[in-house]
Homo-oligomer: A and B are copies of this chain.
Amino acid sequence: MITVLSGGVGAARLLRALCHVMAPSELSAIVNVGDDLVLHGLTICPDLDTITYTLAGLNNDELGWGLRGETWRVMSELDALGGESWFRLGDRDLATHLYRSQRLGEGANKTEVTQELCDKAGVQVRLLPVTNDAVSTQFDTALGRLTFQEYFVRHHHEVEVSAVHVVGARDARPTDQVLDALRKASRIVIAPSNPLISIDPILQVRGVRDILEERRDDVVAVSPIIDGRALKGPADRLLEELGHEVSCVGVVDFYKGLVGTWVIDEADAALADTVRERGVRVMVTTTVMALADDADRLARAVLS
């Protein structure tokens, strides 16, 4: 049993690669819900959906998010009405949000609805929202307090951030399935997702960090920073704005005390000794998952 702490796109790619080299049913993903939002009355879970769509082979490679074969009729009508259309919801994607919102309204919890959506999509990996309680990642910025999607999508993560708050995290309870997946996994993997805004909102949920500290020797992390930059998204920028070193070493320090083994990219081979001095094991390999072979090699490294 392998358990992966997961944000969106980077985690989805690692999970997909892991499915190529092990039985998907032996794989659990504990997924960030700090980006979740209610918009138009609909509950939207971007990280859960990105992973589900990717593992089902339905992800839209051209856009880099959402579903393939997507259409935009509803959004174009909503534009015409002058509605809030900055968060683009495709027609296919909307069906997911309608389904989830209806089921939550009927009293199902997010964990149950996620399982139902995975079953429908034929996804065998166990996707586990870290908590069924409300958690909201928010940003102090020059424009005031922003929610995750306001920062990320509406303002294209271009506004300067002075602090990140994971509102509700300390009162949120991890689900029993999450605690189980953390305790029983032979290995816990931290995906190359944004440490500050994808993984930290998982770690801040009561008790999660403690288990990682206890199980540190079994924790493997893949650096999301390669040669001082993030492949995608604002991880590099946020590290700098929040006073961290913008390198794989900065990420290693951010996860201090939680990780036994680091996987860093070949481009950062010169930093391997510096990382090793932090008292962790280091593996150097290709961490870019653009090519399937590279991704599978990374997956095997993570499992080795």
Quick one: CB contact mask for A92-107 with B, threshold 8 Å, 1 for yes?
A: 1011111101101100
Residue A146 CB within 8 A of the other chain: no
> Interface stretch among A35-43, A160-168, A236-244, A264-272?
A35-43
Residue A25 CB within 8 A of the other chain: no
Is there an interface contact between A78 and B105, defined as CB atoms closer than 8 Å? no
Selected contact of A41 from candidates B43, B82, B95, CB within 8 Å: B43
Task: Tell me the bound Cα distance from A99 to B83 in angstroms.
Answer: 6
Q: A94: which B residues are within 8 A, CB to CB?
A: 74, 77, 94
Q: A97: which B residues are within 8 A, CB to CB?
A: 40-41
Is there an interface contact between A101 and B40, defined as CB atoms closer than 8 Å? yes
In the assembled complex, how far is the CB of residue A267 from the closest CB belonging to chain B, in whole angstroms? 41
Is there an interface contact between B95 and A74, defined as CB atoms closer than 8 Å? yes
Is there an interface contact between B71 and A83, defined as CB atoms closer than 8 Å? no
Is there an interface contact between B80 and A95, defined as CB atoms closer than 8 Å? yes
Q: A43: which B residues are within 8 A, CB to CB?
A: 41
Q: A73: which B residues are within 8 A, CB to CB?
A: 71, 73, 91-92
Is there an interface contact between B84 and A96, defined as CB atoms closer than 8 Å? no
Selected contact of A77 from candidates B75, B95, B101, B104, CB within 8 Å: B95
Q: A301: which B residues are within 8 A, CB to CB?
A: none
Quick one: CB contact mask for A156-182 with B, threshold 8 Å, 1 for yes?
A: 000000000000000000000000000
- With A74-B74, A91-B74 known as contacts, the answer to whether A120 contacts B81 (CB < 8 A) is yes
Selected contact of A99 from candidates B78, B102, B104, B117, CB within 8 Å: B78
Residues of A within 8 A of B (CB): 38-43, 71, 73-75, 77-78, 80-84, 91-92, 94-99, 101-102, 104-105, 117, 120
Is there an interface contact between B96 and A81, defined as CB atoms closer than 8 Å? yes
6 contacts between A and B (CB under 8 A): A41-B102, A73-B91, A78-B99, A81-B95, A81-B99, A91-B91
Task: Tell me the bound Cα distance from A229 to B105 in angstroms.
Answer: 39
Is there an interface contact between A39 and B102, defined as CB atoms closer than 8 Å? yes
Is there an interface contact between B77 and A91, defined as CB atoms closer than 8 Å? yes
Selected contact of A82 from candidates B75, B80, B91, B120, CB within 8 Å: B120
Is there an interface contact between B91 and A78, defined as CB atoms closer than 8 Å? no
Is there an interface contact between B74 and A40, defined as CB atoms closer than 8 Å? no
Task: Tell me the bound Cα distance from A101 to B96 in angstroms.
Answer: 17
5 other A-B residue contacts (CB within 8 Å) besides A40-B42, A40-B97, A94-B94: A40-B99, A71-B73, A73-B73, A73-B92, A78-B98
Most buried by B among A42, A75, A77, A84: A77
- With A94-B94, A95-B74 known as contacts, the answer to whether A81 contacts B117 (CB < 8 A) is yes
Task: Tell me the bound Cα distance from A132 to B202 in angstroms.
Answer: 40
Task: Tell me the bound Cα distance from A99 to B94 in angstroms.
Answer: 14
